Amino acid sequence: MKKRDWPEEIDWIRKQDHMMYKLINILSVAAMLILVCVVAYSASATGSEAAMAAGPGAVSEDGAPLEVIRLTISDNQMTEAAEAAQDMLQQVLADPDAAVLNASEQEAQQDVEESEYANLAIAQVSNYVNVREEPNTESTIVGKIYDGAVAEIQDVAGEEDDWFKIISGSVEGYIKAEYFIYGDEAAQAAQDYVTHYAVVAVDRLNVRGQPDITSERIGYLTRGEKALLLENCGEWLKVQYAESKQGYIAAEYVTIDEEFVYAKSIAEEQAELEAQRAQQARERDSQQTSPEILTDLTPPDVTYTSNEELRRSIVDYAMQFLGNRYVHGGSSLAGGTDCSGFTCLLYKEYGYSLSRTPAGQYSSAGRSISYSEIQPGDIICYSSNGGASCTHVALYIGDGKIIHEANSRKGVIIGDALYDNIIGIKNVID
């Protein structure tokens, strides 16, 4: 099972820093409430004294009745505000951890849900367009974004606000806005731009000219290599395994990944070209005496005595990533991903293959159950468009709570399971 990339000491510091930041915010709010009460009470008392001293009908220097300029805050209201501030401070002093968690939950509930697709952009070009260092066509090229690749819009730039500052994969830079669809249009089309790959799960897997074990061997792939899935033929998969080479591989020796396509940096594109040249060179090797595969699939190392134990393990593992950043289309739990990537990658660590999109998980992950049947580890599917489609997914962790990649502003948080419109619950485990 993969763990975070940083040592435990650094991870502990990150969590403490996050907690301290929340704690400071809570104390600041409480202090402000007390200050407002003091100022309001002083102003109210001062205004009352002035009006009483001046007598009925008195006016201020600007001609307004003195009664009008007094603050209309009752003693009861000030008392309630002071008591709220005192309760908040007592909660922090009694149990700082609970106060921080409660503040996070309240923030998630109070904010209007920000769609994780709000900043999504999908490239619409004939082949590719350059990503530049600055918002002008004379700037240095830092990468390329191909047709159908997704990006996250960071800002609008250019003299006429006609450039987007974007992040796509490892590439950050500027592209003309005219080359993208974005907003609601991109959110509706996101499912159409998922790319399927066959990932080799054995040491070596031959590529054949036809979907038949007796067909000519035209190349091979090694463990971990990806081939673009063109067609699922049942026991055989038609794939593109080099820049333009196509063939068939045995379906039982691969897993299927769903991914978005991203921009490529200059270095990444050069590395990809080198890999393609290596694959093409294999065609010159004689494959006729090679075995079909060298090893069998390796089963998961970890076994569980019950589904309940498995569910708890999934939840515990997910909690390690609390506070991590949100990256639309990201493929790393430690480095950042989005809502469906979070659930997909979590389950992948336990040998389950889930769709890479909210809509895909809603339609195909596990079996549908009711909220009364929900257990830790189940996936809750939400809709922010009135139930027209699944726009968000989260992992249920028990006690009416979820953990999820909320959006680019919040990252991975814990929240109330009923915070938004639930359209489905998926039991993947049993």
CATH number of the CATH domain containing 420: 3.90.1720.10
Give bridge partners of residue 174 from the DSSP assignment: 132, 165
Is 318 domain-assigned?
A: yes
Give domain status of residue 249, yes or no.
Answer: no
- Spatial neighbors of 285 by CB under 8 A, at least 6 apart, are none
Which amino acid belongs to residue 317? Y
Model pTM score? 0.52
Q: What tens-digit pLDDT sequence spans the chain (430 residues)? A: 333 343 343 344 344 445 555 556 656 666 666 665 555 555 555 554 544 455 555 555 555 454 444 444 455 555 665 666 566 666 656 665 555 555 555 554 444 445 666 788 999 998 899 999 999 999 999 999 999 998 989 999 988 899 999 999 889 999 999 999 988 788 778 778 888 889 888 888 899 999 998 888 888 888 888 899 999 998 899 999 877 789 999 988 888 887 887 788 888 888 877 877 776 666 655 444 445 444 444 444 457 889 999 999 999 999 999 999 898 888 889 888 999 999 999 999 898 989 888 988 999 999 999 999 999 999 999 998 888 889 999 999 999 999 999 988 889 999 999 999 999 999 999 9
| Residue 256 falls inside a structural domain | no
Distance CA 426, CA 321 (A): 22
* Helix, strand, coil percentages for the chain (3-state, nearest 5): 35, 30, 35
Is 410 in a helix, a strand, or coil? Answer: coil
Final residue of a domain: which of 66, 81, 110?
Answer: 110
DSSP state of 112: P
What tokens does 417 get? 């399971």
Residue 68 placed within a domain:
yes
pLDDT at 83 (0 to 100):
67
Residue 174: inside a domain:
no
Domain boundary among 61, 85, 110: 110
Q: Is residue 312 part of a domain?
A: yes
Q: For residue 25, what pLDDT is reported? A: 60
pLDDT at 376: 97
Give residue 261's pLDDT.
79
Output the six-digit token pair for 72.
Answer: 């209309």
What is the dihedral sign for C-alpha 89, 93, 95, 98?
A: positive
Considering its fold, how many domains does the chain have in total?
Answer: 2
Residue 127 lies in a domain: no
| Domain around 370 | 307-427
Element housing 281 (H / E): helix 266-282
**C-alpha dihedral sign at 138, 144, 149, 154:** negative
Distance CA 390, CA 355 (A): 13
Instruction: Establish if 67 belongs to a structural domain.
Output: yes
Task: Compute CA distances 427 → 94, 237, 364, 367, 414, whole Å.
Answer: 38, 28, 11, 5, 20
In one letter, which amino acid is 334? A
How high is the pLDDT of residue 155?
92
Q: In the listed set 93, 110, 127, which residue is the last one of a domain according to the structure?
A: 110
